[in-house]
């Protein structure tokens, strides 16, 4: 979704002294949602011919077709306004097919190497029952696992088709398309349930354009989102590395000092300026959601208008914001569309004066996705701890035409982080899908959580509740169904430009 880029002429400060971000080597998606290009296409490819795939990659790099964060697009100068944008990333099996050696593969994160479809990962992510890997459209089985994700951005459908065709011509001999997904922002920044999305983004240290109106406004160390820089613990995140001998043409930088034992030859840093990309196609059961909200809020003794208002209120209580984006903490009784649309104030809030969730329920989506000042007792400590579990989101809604005129709606969820286990998976497992989050008993995220799924054999609807504090006592709704369903995806490594050049280099394997 569109990042709110606050343009500023300020010079970009170094993330850590002596550690300025190398924008020209970082793929643009880290900093930009490419919001001016409303249409996007995710082309998932499999390698047929490794040498051919490497040659294709080399050409992409030589022609400077991969969108970076440099030049005119320098974050210090605001978002780029290119005609098109292109980003490229690889799964673990993709890297193997490009000839990356086992010694190098072992230095990637375990989450990435195992892939999203791994049984334990699926359990962590709540990809069970109807959302289990074997039911996915892509990425769920060995046959459908993509090797490459090529993400294309364009101004409209026709433009995107032409852009895609020009690339297809070049890769089709070496790579085959296994899945294609379009996602677009023609409905502005509304996600399919009807809520404003894309409001909250982390403010990356050293990148003033990422500064938003977030009340906490704490700058996050770049190493949380880009490999090769210090992370929130003041350390370099685990970064894939290459033995010196495997980089004879010296295409890669060395790993930072102090990362190897003294005397040992310093290996090359394959990860620097790269990051891990999480892609998930998530179907949203829009009808089911609104039906559930209506049934759970309807009161036969009240008028139609009152019931309509109660429906909107319950939906907001589950989300934590009104449809307009206005946060419940700031306007608990009724929507304030002006506030919701005001990017300078719609994210300016904390939960500290709402400890019991009487305004914004403890189990609501926004309190889980970012607990802000209430993760632990001390608000300052809380903000610090939360900053260790953040992701950059670049998702966009999709609308698939189905046979019979039906439409499937959802979100092409895209997240960037350098430690999948501590960031993306943590948020999903420990905040969203955790029934004990915020001292609750049996409530998962009512919007995005892996709630009651009749296709899951062990499920009992009674174990899934939503609790809305109220007077004189809470409303407790049991049997909350699952509204967001997994349709396919995987973990990708999105390399820096130098690393792309290395991956595309000619080699024996």
Partner 1 sequence: MSSHALTVVTPIQPDKVKDLDTLLSEIGEDISNRTGRHISFARLTTVHFLRWVILPGDNDGGRHYRPQLAFESNYDGPLDAHLEELIRVGGPVLARIYGYCAGCPSDVAGSVASFKRFLKRYQLRSAAFYRGYPNHSVQDVMENTRARRAIQDFLDDPERRATLRDMQPERLCQEIQKYLATVPGLKLERDPEPRPSRLDRFVERLMDSRPVQLAVGIPVVLLLLPVLVPTALVLRWKESRDEVEPKTKDLVDPRVEGQEDYKVQNQLTHLVEVHPGLFRQLTLRTVLGGINFLARHYYNRGNLGGIPSIHFARWVLIDKGRRLLFFSNYDGSWERYLGDFIDQAAVGLTGVWSNTRGYPKTRLLFGQGATNEEDFKQWTRDHQLYTQVWYSAHPDESVRNILQNVAVCAQLKSQLKSQEAAQWLLKL
Q: Give the span between the Cα atoms of 506 and 172, in whole angstroms.
A: 19
Q: What's the sign of the alpha-carbon dihedral 372, 373, 377, 380? A: positive
Closer of 175 and 313 to partner 1 (Cβ): 313
CB contact at 8 A, 213 and 330: no
Closer of 166 and 235 to partner 1 (Cβ): 235
Position 310 contacts partner 1 (CB under 8 A): no
Decide the pairing of beta strands 219-220 and 396-401.
unpaired
Closer of 335 and 373 to partner 1 (Cβ): 373
Query: Around 64, how many Cα atoms within 13 Å sit in the side-chain half-sphere?
Result: 7
- Respond yes or no on whether the N-terminal peptide bond of residue 472 is cis (omega within 30° of 0): yes
Closer of 27 and 275 to partner 1 (Cβ): 275
State which of residues 20, 238, 309, 505 lies at the interface with partner 1 (CB under 8 A): 238
Shortest Cβ 320–partner 1 spacing (Å): 18
CB contact at 8 A, 463 and 482: no
Q: Which residues contact 60 (CB under 8 A, 6 or more apart)?
A: 66, 86, 88, 500, 504
Position 309 contacts partner 1 (CB under 8 A): no
Distances (CA, A) of 109 to 72, 114, 392, 422, 492: 33, 9, 18, 11, 11
Position 264 contacts partner 1 (CB under 8 A): no
Position 227 contacts partner 1 (CB under 8 A): no
State which of residues 228, 274, 469, 488 lies at the interface with partner 1 (CB under 8 A): 469
Q: Give the span between the Cα atoms of 234 and 441, in whole angstroms.
A: 35
Position 456 contacts partner 1 (CB under 8 A): no
Position 124 contacts partner 1 (CB under 8 A): yes
Position 434 contacts partner 1 (CB under 8 A): yes
62 burial type by CB count under 10 A (0-12 exposed, 13-18 middle, 19+ buried): exposed
Closer of 241 and 283 to partner 1 (Cβ): 241
Tell me which long-range contacts 370-376 makes (C-beta under 8 A, separation of at least 24): 370/200, 371/431, 371/438, 372/215, 372/216, 373/216, 374/350, 374/438
CB contact at 8 A, 277 and 44: no
State which of residues 63, 120, 257, 401 lies at the interface with partner 1 (CB under 8 A): 120
Closer of 173 and 295 to partner 1 (Cβ): 295
Position 334 contacts partner 1 (CB under 8 A): no
Q: Give the span between the Cα atoms of 252 and 271, in whole angstroms.
A: 9
Q: Which of residues 70-109 bind partner 1 (CB under 8 A)?
A: 106
State which of residues 67, 419, 443, 451 lies at the interface with partner 1 (CB under 8 A): 419
Q: Which stretch binds partner 1 (CB under 8 A): 137-145, 269-277, 419-427, 499-507?
A: 419-427
Closer of 407 and 441 to partner 1 (Cβ): 441
Task: With residue 152 as reference, give the H or E element that holds it.
Answer: strand 148-154
Mask for 473-492, x = binds partner 1 (CB under 8 A):
xx-x-x--------------
Closer of 106 and 162 to partner 1 (Cβ): 106
Q: Which of residues 368-397 bind partner 1 (CB under 8 A)?
A: 376, 385, 388
Position 190 contacts partner 1 (CB under 8 A): no
Position 326 contacts partner 1 (CB under 8 A): no
Which among 312, 314, 352, 308 has a CA at the least distance from the CA of 330?
352
Closer of 107 and 172 to partner 1 (Cβ): 107
Strand, coil or helix: what is 351? coil
Shortest Cβ 192–partner 1 spacing (Å): 29
Shortest Cβ 470–partner 1 spacing (Å): 9
Q: Give the span between the Cα atoms of 2 and 188, in whole angstroms.
A: 9
Shortest Cβ 474–partner 1 spacing (Å): 6
Position 123 contacts partner 1 (CB under 8 A): yes
Dihedral in degrees, nearest 10, Cα atoms 202, 208, 210, 216: 40
Shortest Cβ 435–partner 1 spacing (Å): 7
154 phi, psi to nearest 5 deg: -150, 175
Position 429 contacts partner 1 (CB under 8 A): yes
**Count of residues of this chain found to bind partner 1 when the rule CB under 8 A is applied:** 37
Position 345 contacts partner 1 (CB under 8 A): no
State which of residues 441, 454, 455, 460 lies at the interface with partner 1 (CB under 8 A): 441
Closer of 367 and 422 to partner 1 (Cβ): 422
Q: Give the span between the Cα atoms of 195 and 198, in whole angstroms.
A: 10
Interface contacts to partner 1, rule CB under 8 A: 106, 110, 113-114, 119-120, 123-124, 231, 233, 235, 237-238, 301, 356, 376, 385, 388, 419, 421-422, 425-426, 429-430, 434-436, 439, 441-442, 469, 472-474, 476, 478
């Amino acid at each position: 979704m569109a990042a709110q880029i606050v343009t500023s002429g300020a010079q970009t400060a170094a993330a850590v002294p002596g550690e300025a971000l190398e924008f020209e080597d970082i793929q643009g998606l880290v900093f930009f949602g490419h919001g001016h290009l409303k249409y996007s296409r995710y082309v998932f490819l499999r390698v047929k011919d490794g040498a051919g795939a490497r040659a294709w990659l080399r050409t992409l790099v030589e022609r400077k077709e991969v969108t970076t964060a440099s030049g005119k697009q320098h974050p210090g100068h605001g978002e780029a306004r290119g005609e098109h944008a292109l980003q490229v990333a690889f799964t673990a099996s993709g890297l193997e097919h490009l000839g990356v050696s086992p010694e190098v593969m072992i230095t990637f994160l375990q989450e990435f190497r195992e892939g999203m479809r791994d049984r334990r990962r699926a359990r962590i992510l709540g990809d069970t029952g109807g959302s289990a890997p074997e039911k996915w459209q892509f990425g769920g089985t060995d046959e459908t696992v993509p090797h490459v994700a090529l993400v294309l951005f364009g101004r409209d459908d026709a433009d995107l088709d032409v852009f895609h065709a020009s690339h297809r011509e070049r890769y089709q001999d070496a790579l085959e398309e296994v899945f294609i997904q379009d996602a677009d922002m023609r409905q502005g920044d509304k996600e399919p349930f009807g809520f404003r999305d894309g409001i909250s983004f982390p403010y990356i240290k050293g990148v003033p354009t990422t500064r938003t109106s977030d009340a906490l406004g704490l700058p996050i160390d770049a190493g949380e989102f880009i490999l090769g820089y210090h992370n929130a613990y003041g350390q370099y995140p685990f970064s894939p590395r290459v033995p010196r001998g495997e980089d004879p043409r010296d295409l890669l930088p060395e790993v930072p000092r102090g990362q190897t034992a003294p005397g040992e030859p310093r290996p090359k840093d394959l990860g620097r300026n790269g990051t891990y990309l999480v892609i998930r196609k998530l179907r949203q059961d829009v009808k089911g959601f609104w039906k559930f909200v209506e049934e759970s809020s309807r009161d036969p003794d009240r008028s139609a208008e009152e019931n309509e208002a109660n429906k909107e209120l319950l939906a907001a209580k589950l989300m934590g914001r009104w449809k307009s984006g206005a946060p419940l903490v700031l306007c608990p009784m009724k929507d304030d569309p002006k506030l919701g649309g005001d990017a300078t104030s719609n994210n300016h809030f904390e939960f500290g004066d709402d400890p019991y969730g009487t305004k914004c329920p403890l189990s609501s989506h926004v309190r889980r996705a970012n607990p802000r000042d209430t993760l632990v007792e001390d608000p300052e400590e809380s903000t610090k701890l939360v900053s260790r579990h953040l992701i950059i989101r670049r998702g966009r809604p999709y609308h698939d035409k189905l046979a019979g005129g039906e439409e499937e709606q959802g979100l092409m969820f895209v997240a960037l982080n350098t430690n999948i286990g501590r960031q993306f998976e943590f948020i999903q497992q420990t905040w969203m899908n955790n029934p004990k989050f915020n001292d609750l008993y049996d409530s998962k995220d009512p919007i995005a959580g892996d709630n009651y799924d009749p296709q899951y054999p062990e499920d009992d609807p009674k174990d899934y509740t939503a609790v809305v504090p109220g007077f004189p006592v809470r409303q407790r709704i049991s049997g909350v169904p699952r509204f967001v369903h997994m349709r396919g995806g995987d973990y990708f490594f999105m390399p820096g430009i130098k690393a792309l050049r290395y991956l595309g280099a000619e080699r024996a394997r």
